[in-house]
């Protein structure tokens, strides 16, 4: 069976990662102790990374020690910035900053991969970001400067991680679970001394917080990153990057399920973002099927 025949299934599995990340905002605000973004990032990364190492029992070799460290810093080390943004901004505003990631990925891919985005995917990337903005940005949006910088910083580091992951690929004998375990461990080890020195441990972790950390480390951590790295290796970067639009859309859907209502403009933005994400998975229409009479 050709790789193109596998593509819909690969896209769906890869999409589970940003969908899981879209739950970060509600988990952070509703379950986790406030004021501890470093600890939240640590709990999401280090236990999951060690579990990945235990399952695969494969360590980096040669220059992959350095590559794994760089990717771990970019993909995982910036994770506390996401929790800072989630704490200081409304969930939708924080998610909107992440929706700009496809555009950053397109720019970096053009520089580092010589992969120039097609006008088709570039236009849909802009429309997808605009659609998310219509959903979550309104006159009542609270725009905290620190939260904005944190959200933009996390978006930039993740974009760099996507492009370098695509450029470097994986070493022989290392699958996506192995790559996820390496990077989560690197990110967790980076966050461990920072957490202890800057923030310390939360005074109390109740059952809800424990469940939140477990969810973020499993489905939002090891499982999500394994699927994400598998998708990056298999799919074109222009197909993978727009899937991050699912994160703010899932965050919005959760808010709606919890009683938040959408205005007609917000509903239109939601539909535009969903359309843009789906259209970016397709090739642009051509006239090849039109035959002269």
Q: Confirm whether 9 is domain-assigned.
A: yes
CB 170 within 8 A of CB 232: no
Q: What is the pLDDT of residue 290?
A: 45
Q: What is the pLDDT of residue 138?
A: 55
Categorize the per-residue pLDDT at 136 as very low, low, confident or very high, splitting at 50, 70 and 90. low
Average model confidence (pLDDT) for the chain?
82
Q: What is the pLDDT of residue 60?
A: 93
Cα–Cα dist 272/270, whole Å: 5
Tell which wins on pLDDT, 136 or 199: 199
How many domains in the chain? 1
**Residue 180 CA from chain centroid, whole number:** 13
Q: Which of 1-5, 27-31, 80-84, 268-272 has the lowest mean pLDDT?
A: 1-5
Q: Confirm whether 260 is domain-assigned.
A: no
Q: Confirm whether 258 is domain-assigned.
A: no
pLDDT, tens only, 44-59: 999 999 999 999 999 9
Asked if pLDDT for residue 292 goes beyond 50, the answer is no
Report residue 128 as tokens. Answer: 């997808």
For the residues 211-235, what does the mean pLDDT come to?
Answer: 92
Q: Confirm whether 126 is domain-assigned.
A: no
Q: What is the pLDDT of residue 246?
A: 83
Sign of CA dihedral 265, 270, 271, 276: positive
Report residue 18 as tokens. Answer: 């940003």
Categorize the per-residue pLDDT at 9 as very low, low, confident or very high, splitting at 50, 70 and 90. confident
Cα–Cα dist 91/21, whole Å: 12
Q: Confirm whether 100 is domain-assigned.
A: yes
| 57: phi then psi, degrees, rounded to nearest 5 | 55, 40
Query: Whole domain around residue 26: which residue ranges?
Result: 3-115+142-240
> At which residue do the structure tokens 């899981």 appear?
20
Q: What is the pLDDT of residue 267?
A: 79
Q: Confirm whether 64 is domain-assigned.
A: yes
Q: Confirm whether 150 is domain-assigned.
A: yes
Q: Confirm whether 270 is domain-assigned.
A: no
pLDDT, tens only, 233-290: 888 877 887 888 888 788 778 877 877 676 787 778 778 878 887 887 777 766 554 4
């Amino acid at each position: 069976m050709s790789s193109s025949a596998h593509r819909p299934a690969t896209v769906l599995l890869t999409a589970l990662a940003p969908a899981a990340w879209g739950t970060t905002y509600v988990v952070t605000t509703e379950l986790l102790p406030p004021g501890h973004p470093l600890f939240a990032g640590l709990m999401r990364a280090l236990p999951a990374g060690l579990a990945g190492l235990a399952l695969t029992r494969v360590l980096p070799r040669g220059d992959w020690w350095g590559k794994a460290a760089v990717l771990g810093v970019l993909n995982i080390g910036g994770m506390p910035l996401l929790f800072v943004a989630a704490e200081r901004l409304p969930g939708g505003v924080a998610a909107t900053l992440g929706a700009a990631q496809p555009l950053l990925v397109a720019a970096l891919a053009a520089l580092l991969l010589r992969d120039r985005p097609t006008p088709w995917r570039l236009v849909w990337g802009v429309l997808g970001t605009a659609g998310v903005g219509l959903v979550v940005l309104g006159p009542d949006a609270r725009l905290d400067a620190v939260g904005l910088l944190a959200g933009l910083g996390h978006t930039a580091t993740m974009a760099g991680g996507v492009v370098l992951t695509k450029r470097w690929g994986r070493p022989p004998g290392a699958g996506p679970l192995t790559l996820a375990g390496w990077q989560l461990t690197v990110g967790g080890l980076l966050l461990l001394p920072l957490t202890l020195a800057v923030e310390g441990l939360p005074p109390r972790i109740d059952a809800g917080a424990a469940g939140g950390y477990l969810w973020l480390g499993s489905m939002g951590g090891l499982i999500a990153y394994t699927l994400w790295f598998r998708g990056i290796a298999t799919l074109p970067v222009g197909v993978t990057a727009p899937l991050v639009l699912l994160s703010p859309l899932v965050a919005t859907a959760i808010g709606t399920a919890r009683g938040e209502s959408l205005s007609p403009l917000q509903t239109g933005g939601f539909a535009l973002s969903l359309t843009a994400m789906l259209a970016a998975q397709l090739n642009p229409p051509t006239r090849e099927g039109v035959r002269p009479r």
